[in-house]
Amino acid sequence: MTPSEAHASVGGGFQKARNLLVTTPAATTPRKTALYSIHRKMGAKMVEFGGWEMPLEYAGILAEHHAVRTRAGLFDVSHMGEIEIRGPGALGLAEWVTCNHVARLRAGEAHYSGLMTSRGTFVDDLLVHKLSDTHYLLCVNAANQDRDFEHIAGQKHGDAEVENAGVRYSQLAIQGPRAKEILGRLTPVALDSIHYYHFTFGKVSGADCLIARTGYTGEDGFEIYFHIEFSEALWSSLLEAGQSFGVMPCGLGARNTLRLEAGMRLYGHELDESTTPWEAGLDWICKLDKGEFLGSKALAQQRQRGVEKKLVGFEMLGKRIAREGYPVFVGGRQAGGVTSGGPAPSLGKNIGFAYVPPQASAPGTALEISIRGQVEPARICQIPFYRHPRPTTPH
Amino acid sequence: MYPADFRYTKDHEWIRLEGAVGTVGITDYAQQQLGDVVFVELPKPGARVKAGESFGTIESVKAVSELFSPVSGEVAEVNASLADSPEAVNRDPHGAAWLVKIRVSDAKEMTALMDSAAYQVYIAEKAKETPA
């Protein structure tokens, strides 16, 4: 099956899904994924995130975190947005709005990238999947999907059609060292042939899915995209298939501790419309040599001039926890602030991200972080904080 | 679940008064709402505390919360074991994971607190407001 052919069947229920839009409650009430009632029934503690009512935790953040590091965890990530770009101008448009080099992707490959403003700052961070030369699927953050869509559609760059497709899709992430065995029980697809940051189309429990070897946990695992009508069936069959492997349903709490340990940025915290890829330490996704794109001039200038702030990872030397917004001092002077912070359950210490001046950004640099008025010592360390051996090398 | 000899605050602390000394902790409802407790910061013995005012902080994986004293007085003792095993607050919030003992300066303040039945009504109402 070629990617684009198979994908047509994933989108087969489009009309049905559109009707859901009509009954979507006012924007002030949080949106619910197709699995909302299952989460409630299973006793999840719910939280509003990015305009969606999502599970925060089931058994507890720490238990879920360790399950993903040692066994497997299942996440409903249907709040994530999907935007599709189709047509002869699809590559040109994707190349224009994002900073990574889309032309280098082959069909069946994905990469991490940034959706750029004309100032070279982040409208969003995203995954770009190449389905074919004329079809790209972008996976974007829940809170940003509508403005991302408007931003891309508003570019009018060549002959390309942009679709805000999130309403059609559910997405589940099965993550952890046993994820492959669990998913393998439900699909005829040879999962070993899907390398890291690659994807294919195939059936999972009889449902058409895009199966990608990606994740937001620092573990091996898969993210599967499918039509919302299969949500409950796939959630249940993955939990059932994973039972003997010790799979746990996981919420956004564990998703956050896992991504933080893995050194992955979170939009609205490490990234926003005031930060550039250079500042965020994401040089590897910003390809100035690919030709002009939205923000490339500003980014080239900043590359020459140098950045004024730089994202670093830090660890606390004491037991206290630095959290978002806490001021960071270098040599007694306030130098920046914490963007994310919390316990790292797999490392047994407290870690975080902060922006500091570039001259104070080298690993080993001593920082002081003000925790509710009391200054606590911290130290800049390498990102990622936690590294799990990969099954294959990322490209 | 909520012992009859405890009194409870609206901020989900409990106190059990024995003579002039009250043992203080957080309720089972509070630990459930917090989730995994990873750090507890308590005052030093001898510190003065006031009813309704913060005497420390408790941190879960997700967030930091203030601890409010049910009564006024002087800290007589703190539960030092929580420094190394804060997760005890999740396991035994009404027992082994008490937080501080306070030498109560005005026992009349106890009458402003809820008894077990009133507290259970109070948290049942809370649960209706915020679907968990």
Decide if A345 and B35 are in contact by the 8 Å CB cutoff. no
pLDDT computed for residue A13 by the predictor: 28
Q: What amino acid is encoded at A145 in this protein? A: Q
User: Is residue A394 a part of any domain in this protein?
Assistant: no
Q: How confident is the model at residue B132 (pLDDT cuts 50, 70, 90)?
A: very low
Residues of A in Cβ contact (< 8 Å) with B90: 60
Probe site for chain B from A49, A53, A54, A62 (most B CB atoms < 10 A): A62
User: Is residue A26 a part of any domain in this protein?
Assistant: yes
Decide if A319 and B83 are in contact by the 8 Å CB cutoff. yes
Q: Work out the average pLDDT over A20-48.
A: 79
| A218-229 per-position pLDDT tens digit | 999 999 999 999
CB environment A56-80: b (16+ within 10 A), e (fewer)? bbbbbbbbbbbbbbebbbbbbbbbb
Query: Which chain A residues touch B if contact means CB-CB below 8 Å?
Result: 40, 45-46, 56-57, 60-62, 253, 256-257, 319-321, 323, 342-343, 345, 372
A359 and A213 housed in the same domain: no
Of B35, B57, B63, which has the smallest distance from its Cβ to A60's Cβ?
A: B35
A234 and A346 housed in the same domain: no
Residue B4 to chain A, least CA–CA distance (Å): 28
A338 and A353 housed in the same domain: yes
Q: In chain B, which residue's Cα lies nearest the Cα of A256? A: B62
A276 and A357 housed in the same domain: no
| A160-175 per-position pLDDT tens digit | 999 999 999 999 999 9
pLDDT computed for residue B125 by the predictor: 92
**In sequence order, which residues have a C-beta less than 8 Å from that of residue B54 and are 6 or more positions away?**
B66, B67, B68, B69
Residues of A in Cβ contact (< 8 Å) with B63: 323
Of A306, A340, A355, which marks where a domain is finished? Answer: A306
User: Does position B130 have pLDDT exceeding 90, yes or no?
Assistant: no
Q: List the domain range (segments joined by +) for residue A211.
A: 1-306
A300 and A312 housed in the same domain: no
pLDDT computed for residue A158 by the predictor: 81
Q: How confident is the model at residue A394 (pLDDT cuts 50, 70, 90)?
A: very low
Q: What is the CATH number of the domain that holds A377?
A: 2.40.30.110
Q: What is the CATH number of the domain that holds A257?
A: 3.30.1360.120
| B11-44 per-position pLDDT tens digit | 999 999 999 999 999 999 999 999 999 999 999 9
A281 and A335 housed in the same domain: no
pTM: 0.92
Q: What stretches of B22-110 show up as alpha helix (H) in DSSP? A: 28-34, 88-91
**Interatomic CA distance for residues B4 and A388, integer angstroms:** 50
Decide if A342 and B61 are in contact by the 8 Å CB cutoff. yes
What CATH fold (topology level) applies to the domain B7-124?
Answer: OB fold (Dihydrolipoamide Acetyltransferase, E2P) (2.40.50)
- Please give the full DSSP string across A196-222, using - where no structure is assigned: TTBEEEEEETTEEEEEE---SSSSSEE
| B56-105 per-position pLDDT tens digit | 999 999 999 999 999 999 999 999 999 999 999 999 999 999 999 999 99
Max Cα–Cα distance, chain B, nearest Å: 40
Q: Structure tokens of A39?
A: 């989460």
A356 and A293 housed in the same domain: no
Of A60, A61, A319, which has the smallest distance from its Cβ to B39's Cβ?
A: A319
| A2-23 per-position pLDDT tens digit | 233 333 333 332 222 222 333 3
Give Cα separations from A174 to A58, A188, A237 (angstroms).
16, 17, 12
The structural domains of chain B, with segments of one domain joined by +, span 7-124
**In sequence order, which residues have a C-beta less than 8 Å from that of residue A148 and are 6 or more positions away?**
A81, A83, A115, A123, A124, A126, A138, A140, A141
Residue B62 to chain A, least CA–CA distance (Å): 7
Of A254, A281, A306, which marks where a domain is finished? Answer: A306
Probe site for chain A from B62, B87, B90 (most A CB atoms < 10 A): B62
A222 and A356 housed in the same domain: no
A371 and A299 housed in the same domain: no
User: Does position A366 have pLDDT exceeding 80, yes or no?
Assistant: yes
Length of chain A as a residue count: 395
Query: Which chain B residues touch A if contact means CB-CB below 8 Å?
Result: 35-36, 38-39, 41, 57, 59-64, 83, 90, 131-132
Number of structural domains chain A divides into: 2
A240 and A359 housed in the same domain: no
User: Is residue A288 a part of any domain in this protein?
Assistant: yes
Residue A44 to chain B, least CA–CA distance (Å): 7
A43 and A100 housed in the same domain: yes
Of A241, A273, A306, which marks where a domain is finished? Answer: A306
Decide if B62 and A320 are in contact by the 8 Å CB cutoff. no
**Interatomic CA distance for residues A283 and A287, integer angstroms:** 8
Q: How confident is the model at residue A348 (pLDDT cuts 50, 70, 90)?
A: very high
| A242-272 per-position pLDDT tens digit | 999 999 999 999 999 999 999 999 999 999 9
More confident residue, A65 or A158: A65
Residue A382 to chain B, least CA–CA distance (Å): 22
Decide if B39 and A321 are in contact by the 8 Å CB cutoff. yes
A212 and A246 housed in the same domain: yes
